[in-house]
Amino acid sequence: MTDAPTPIAIYTPDGPNLYRITFDPQAAQDAHAQGCETITDHSMTDLLLEMAPRPASEYMDAQTWQALAPALKEAAEQLISETNPVHAPVGLGLPPVSPDFPAPLLPDRMDTLARVFDARTDAETWVDLQELAFARQAGREVNVEILSDDARGSSWDTVYDESTDDLHEQQADLQAAWTENPRIAAIRDLEVRELYYALDTHPETELDSAMAPG
């Protein structure tokens, strides 16, 4: 696994609940003096499972994320690869994000992930979303090396590069589908909302113009 700097996990005195991950020993000493517990021997898997599905930004700053992201990515990959298919949760994964995934859709993605999260299926998706969120917040390029293979190889513009009629048809199919599985239902609802966004922001294509009446 990728060697990462040793992070300090700080826990509240009354819980304890994780509330900060830092590399700053002075911050850890100050927290310890206030009765907080500090732990320095967590594995990356431990840290990922402590944070997810909450946003990593609740626990660390952007610099800490950039230092830990490669190791957290490997921890997510290992979690999923070690899952016995017999015990894997039944249902869809969230659609892959992409380096150009629209920032306005990130909060809804994170909320949906929090509702359906299972580390055996969603650990890599969680890492993908954190990298996108930190990149958008800092105004920097997404580090595609942190993204999963599915996310790295996709593009929002390519996924929705269709005529508006085709997008409306996809939307109708998703809305017509019914399932008792709450995970699948939540993901389908997410896809419908993202299709609404795609339609609202969809530029007119040559195909749309050709199909327009008149």
22, 40 in Cβ contact below 8 A?
A: no
Domain with 88 in it: 61-159
Distance of CA 204 to the CA centre of its chain: 30
Q: Which tokens go with 100?
A: 């150009």
The answer to whether residue 192 is domain-embedded is no
The answer to whether residue 204 is domain-embedded is no
172 has pLDDT over 60: yes
The answer to whether residue 14 is domain-embedded is no
205 has pLDDT over 70: no
Residue bearing tokens 């419908």: 192
213 has pLDDT over 50: no
Mean pLDDT, rounded, of the chain: 86
The answer to whether residue 66 is domain-embedded is yes
Confidence at 53, pLDDT banded by 50, 70, 90: very high
Residue 204's contacts (CB-CB under 8 Å, 6 or more residues apart) are none
The answer to whether residue 121 is domain-embedded is yes
Average of per-residue pLDDT across 140-167: 82
Mapped onto helix, strand or coil, the DSSP state of residue 10 is strand
Give pLDDT, residue 212: 46
Number of domains in the chain: 1
The answer to whether residue 125 is domain-embedded is yes
Average of per-residue pLDDT across 167-174: 65
109, 190 in Cβ contact below 8 A?
A: yes
Q: Which tokens go with 134?
A: 């930190």
Residue 190: Cβ within 10 Å count: 21
Alpha-carbon distance of 197 to 86, in angstroms, equals: 36
